[in-house]
Amino acid sequence: MEKARANHIDIPKIFYSDATGGYLERCIGCDLELCSGDTDYLIEKAFKSYQGLESYSTIFEYAMCLTCVDRMHQTLSEESRANISSYFQKHAKFPNWVASGQADNDINQQLSCCILTAEKAHEIPEFQIYGHCRGKELIVSGYPFMISGKAMDMLVELISDQTLDELQNFTDQLVGGPSEFADILKLGPRLIF
Ligand SMILES: [Zn+2]
Protein backbone atom coordinates (compact mmCIF):
# COMPACT_ATOMS: atom_id res chain seq x y z
CA MET A 1 0.00 0.00 0.00
CA GLU A 2 1.19 3.49 -0.79
CA LYS A 3 2.41 5.36 2.27
CA ALA A 4 0.45 8.43 3.24
CA ARG A 5 2.25 11.56 2.12
CA ALA A 6 2.13 14.97 3.72
CA ASN A 7 0.41 16.59 0.77
CA HIS A 8 -2.29 13.92 0.54
CA ILE A 9 -5.19 14.54 2.90
CA ASP A 10 -8.65 13.06 3.27
CA ILE A 11 -11.00 14.94 0.98
CA PRO A 12 -12.28 17.83 3.12
CA LYS A 13 -16.01 18.34 3.50
CA ILE A 14 -16.07 21.43 1.32
CA PHE A 15 -15.31 19.14 -1.64
CA TYR A 16 -18.10 16.71 -0.75
CA SER A 17 -21.28 16.65 -2.77
CA ASP A 18 -23.90 18.95 -1.29
CA ALA A 19 -26.54 16.91 -3.08
CA THR A 20 -25.64 13.64 -1.32
CA GLY A 21 -23.46 14.69 1.62
CA GLY A 22 -20.85 12.15 0.48
CA TYR A 23 -18.09 12.01 -2.10
CA LEU A 24 -18.65 13.08 -5.68
CA GLU A 25 -18.62 9.54 -6.96
CA ARG A 26 -18.50 9.58 -10.74
CA CYS A 27 -16.92 11.43 -13.65
CA ILE A 28 -19.52 13.71 -15.18
CA GLY A 29 -17.99 13.06 -18.62
CA CYS A 30 -17.59 9.26 -18.81
CA ASP A 31 -19.34 8.02 -15.65
CA LEU A 32 -16.15 6.37 -14.39
CA GLU A 33 -16.30 5.56 -10.70
CA LEU A 34 -13.81 7.86 -9.00
CA CYS A 35 -13.89 7.76 -5.24
CA SER A 36 -13.21 4.04 -4.85
CA GLY A 37 -10.43 3.86 -7.44
CA ASP A 38 -6.97 5.33 -7.90
CA THR A 39 -7.80 7.54 -10.88
CA ASP A 40 -6.83 11.20 -10.69
CA TYR A 41 -9.68 13.64 -11.10
CA LEU A 42 -10.60 17.28 -10.60
CA ILE A 43 -13.53 18.72 -8.70
CA GLU A 44 -15.10 22.08 -9.49
CA LYS A 45 -17.68 23.60 -7.17
CA ALA A 46 -19.28 27.01 -7.53
CA PHE A 47 -20.71 28.88 -4.55
CA LYS A 48 -22.91 31.81 -3.87
CA SER A 49 -21.30 33.32 -0.82
CA TYR A 50 -22.95 34.95 2.17
CA GLN A 51 -20.02 35.01 4.56
CA GLY A 52 -17.32 33.39 2.47
CA LEU A 53 -16.60 29.85 3.56
CA GLU A 54 -18.70 30.27 6.71
CA SER A 55 -22.02 30.55 4.92
CA TYR A 56 -22.65 29.74 1.29
CA SER A 57 -24.90 27.82 -1.05
CA THR A 58 -23.68 25.58 -3.84
CA ILE A 59 -24.57 26.60 -7.40
CA PHE A 60 -23.11 23.47 -8.95
CA GLU A 61 -20.58 20.73 -8.35
CA TYR A 62 -19.00 18.02 -10.43
CA ALA A 63 -15.97 15.77 -10.70
CA MET A 64 -14.17 14.97 -13.95
CA CYS A 65 -11.45 12.38 -14.59
CA LEU A 66 -8.20 13.71 -16.08
CA THR A 67 -8.83 11.90 -19.37
CA CYS A 68 -12.05 13.88 -19.86
CA VAL A 69 -10.31 17.06 -18.64
CA ASP A 70 -7.63 16.54 -21.33
CA ARG A 71 -10.27 16.05 -23.99
CA MET A 72 -11.95 19.24 -22.88
CA HIS A 73 -8.66 21.17 -23.00
CA GLN A 74 -8.01 19.91 -26.52
CA THR A 75 -11.14 21.71 -27.70
CA LEU A 76 -9.56 25.03 -26.71
CA SER A 77 -7.64 26.66 -29.55
CA GLU A 78 -3.90 27.06 -29.14
CA GLU A 79 -4.39 30.80 -28.86
CA SER A 80 -7.00 30.47 -26.12
CA ARG A 81 -4.82 28.05 -24.19
CA ALA A 82 -1.81 30.36 -24.51
CA ASN A 83 -3.89 33.35 -23.35
CA ILE A 84 -5.11 31.54 -20.27
CA SER A 85 -1.72 30.15 -19.38
CA SER A 86 0.02 33.51 -19.68
CA TYR A 87 -2.73 35.10 -17.60
CA PHE A 88 -2.15 32.52 -14.88
CA GLN A 89 1.62 33.00 -15.06
CA LYS A 90 1.23 36.74 -14.70
CA HIS A 91 -1.42 36.84 -11.97
CA ALA A 92 -1.71 33.59 -10.07
CA LYS A 93 -0.39 33.60 -6.53
CA PHE A 94 -0.68 30.13 -5.07
CA PRO A 95 -0.80 30.10 -1.28
CA ASN A 96 1.77 28.12 0.67
CA TRP A 97 0.25 25.01 2.13
CA VAL A 98 0.61 24.98 5.88
CA ALA A 99 -0.53 21.70 7.38
CA SER A 100 -1.51 22.18 11.01
CA GLY A 101 -3.20 18.81 11.29
CA GLN A 102 -6.63 20.43 11.15
CA ALA A 103 -7.37 19.74 7.53
CA ASP A 104 -10.70 21.59 7.31
CA ASN A 105 -9.20 24.79 8.76
CA ASP A 106 -6.13 24.53 6.56
CA ILE A 107 -8.26 24.06 3.47
CA ASN A 108 -10.48 27.02 4.32
CA GLN A 109 -7.33 29.11 4.71
CA GLN A 110 -6.11 27.90 1.34
CA LEU A 111 -9.43 28.73 -0.34
CA SER A 112 -10.13 32.05 1.37
CA CYS A 113 -8.47 34.23 -1.26
CA CYS A 114 -8.81 34.29 -5.07
CA ILE A 115 -5.47 33.26 -6.57
CA LEU A 116 -5.90 35.70 -9.48
CA THR A 117 -7.40 38.85 -7.94
CA ALA A 118 -6.65 38.35 -4.20
CA GLU A 119 -10.32 39.04 -3.46
CA LYS A 120 -11.45 37.48 -0.19
CA ALA A 121 -14.17 34.83 -0.15
CA HIS A 122 -16.25 36.74 2.43
CA GLU A 123 -16.20 39.93 0.31
CA ILE A 124 -17.42 38.52 -2.99
CA PRO A 125 -20.83 37.21 -4.08
CA GLU A 126 -19.64 34.21 -6.08
CA PHE A 127 -16.58 32.03 -6.33
CA GLN A 128 -15.44 28.65 -7.54
CA ILE A 129 -13.08 26.15 -5.99
CA TYR A 130 -10.98 23.51 -7.69
CA GLY A 131 -9.38 20.44 -6.18
CA HIS A 132 -7.25 17.58 -7.47
CA CYS A 133 -8.20 14.22 -5.98
CA ARG A 134 -7.25 10.59 -6.21
CA GLY A 135 -9.67 8.11 -4.71
CA LYS A 136 -10.68 9.50 -1.33
CA GLU A 137 -7.69 11.85 -1.05
CA LEU A 138 -7.12 15.45 -1.99
CA ILE A 139 -3.65 16.13 -3.36
CA VAL A 140 -2.28 19.50 -2.30
CA SER A 141 0.17 20.91 -4.86
CA GLY A 142 -0.95 23.98 -6.72
CA TYR A 143 -4.50 22.80 -6.09
CA PRO A 144 -6.75 23.40 -4.32
CA PHE A 145 -7.49 27.00 -5.17
CA MET A 146 -10.29 29.52 -5.39
CA ILE A 147 -11.22 31.79 -8.30
CA SER A 148 -13.69 34.65 -7.88
CA GLY A 149 -16.66 35.11 -10.19
CA LYS A 150 -15.03 38.28 -11.53
CA ALA A 151 -11.75 36.50 -12.34
CA MET A 152 -13.70 33.72 -14.05
CA ASP A 153 -15.44 36.28 -16.29
CA MET A 154 -12.03 37.67 -17.25
CA LEU A 155 -10.77 34.19 -18.12
CA VAL A 156 -13.78 33.48 -20.33
CA GLU A 157 -13.05 36.73 -22.19
CA LEU A 158 -9.62 35.34 -23.09
CA ILE A 159 -11.27 32.54 -25.05
CA SER A 160 -12.16 33.16 -28.67
CA ASP A 161 -15.81 32.87 -29.79
CA GLN A 162 -14.86 30.00 -32.07
CA THR A 163 -13.36 28.08 -29.16
CA LEU A 164 -16.43 28.76 -27.05
CA ASP A 165 -18.53 27.15 -29.82
CA GLU A 166 -16.20 24.15 -29.93
CA LEU A 167 -16.29 23.84 -26.18
CA GLN A 168 -20.07 23.82 -26.38
CA ASN A 169 -20.03 21.10 -29.10
CA PHE A 170 -17.62 19.03 -27.06
CA THR A 171 -19.70 19.18 -23.93
CA ASP A 172 -22.89 18.47 -25.92
CA GLN A 173 -21.28 15.25 -27.16
CA LEU A 174 -19.86 14.47 -23.76
CA VAL A 175 -23.19 14.60 -22.05
CA GLY A 176 -25.10 13.09 -25.00
CA GLY A 177 -28.42 14.69 -24.22
CA PRO A 178 -30.02 16.08 -21.12
CA SER A 179 -27.95 15.64 -18.00
CA GLU A 180 -26.76 17.38 -14.90
CA PHE A 181 -23.82 18.77 -16.87
CA ALA A 182 -26.11 20.25 -19.51
CA ASP A 183 -27.81 22.21 -16.71
CA ILE A 184 -24.44 23.39 -15.39
CA LEU A 185 -23.49 24.59 -18.85
CA LYS A 186 -26.54 26.80 -19.04
CA LEU A 187 -24.82 28.94 -16.41
CA GLY A 188 -22.01 29.68 -18.86
CA PRO A 189 -19.02 27.99 -20.42
CA ARG A 190 -17.09 25.81 -17.98
CA LEU A 191 -13.37 25.85 -17.68
CA ILE A 192 -11.59 23.36 -15.56
CA PHE A 193 -7.89 23.98 -15.11
ZN1 LIG B 1 -14.15 10.87 -17.42
131 CA from centroid of ligand 1 (Å): 16
Q: Is the pLDDT of residue 4 over 70?
A: no
Q: What is the pLDDT of residue 32?
A: 93
71 CA from centroid of ligand 1 (Å): 9
65 CA from centroid of ligand 1 (Å): 4
Asked if 156 contacts 191 with a C-beta cutoff of 8 angstroms, the reply is yes
54 in any annotated domain:
yes
Q: What is the pLDDT of residue 76?
A: 84
67 CA from centroid of ligand 1 (Å): 6
98 CA from centroid of ligand 1 (Å): 31
Mean pLDDT of the chain: 85
105 CA from centroid of ligand 1 (Å): 30
190 in any annotated domain:
no
* Whether the model pTM is above 0.95: no
Q: Which residues sit opposite 47 in a β-bridge?
A: 58, 127
Q: How many domains does the chain have?
A: 1
Q: CA–CA separation, 184 vs 81, rounded Å?
A: 22
Least confident of 1-5, 62-66, 100-104, 153-157: 1-5
Question: Whole domain around residue 146: which residue ranges?
Answer: 8-177
Length of the chain: 193
Q: What is the pLDDT of residue 52?
A: 74
Q: Is the pLDDT of residue 51 over 80?
A: no
Q: What is the pLDDT of residues 9-45, one digit of tens each?
A: 999 999 999 989 999 999 988 899 999 989 999 999 9
149-170 average pLDDT score = 83
Q: What is the pLDDT of residue 182?
A: 66
Quick one: CA torsion of 108, 86, 190, 25, rounded to 10 degrees?
-50
Which sign, positive or negative, has the C-alpha torsion 163, 168, 169, 170? positive
Q: CA–CA separation, 26 vs 120, rounded Å?
A: 31
pLDDT band at 95 (very low <50, low <70, confident <90, very high): confident
Q: Is the pLDDT of residue 71 over 80?
A: yes
Query: What percent of the chain is predicted at pLDDT more than 70?
Result: 85
188 in any annotated domain:
no
Q: At what angle do helices 78-91 and 149-157 cross, to 10 degrees?
A: 140
186 in any annotated domain:
no
103 CA from centroid of ligand 1 (Å): 27
Q: CA–CA separation, 68 vs 77, rounded Å?
A: 17
pLDDT band at 1 (very low <50, low <70, confident <90, very high): very low
Q: Which residues sit opposite 150 in a β-bridge?
A: none
Q: What is the pLDDT of residue 180?
A: 65
172 CA from centroid of ligand 1 (Å): 14
Helix (H, G, I), strand (E, B) or coil at 170: helix
Element (H, E) at 66: helix 66-74
Q: CA–CA separation, 136 vs 39, rounded Å?
A: 10
Q: CA–CA separation, 135 vs 184, rounded Å?
A: 24
2 in any annotated domain:
no
25 in any annotated domain:
yes
On the CB side of 159, how many CA atoms lie within 13 Å of its CA? 22
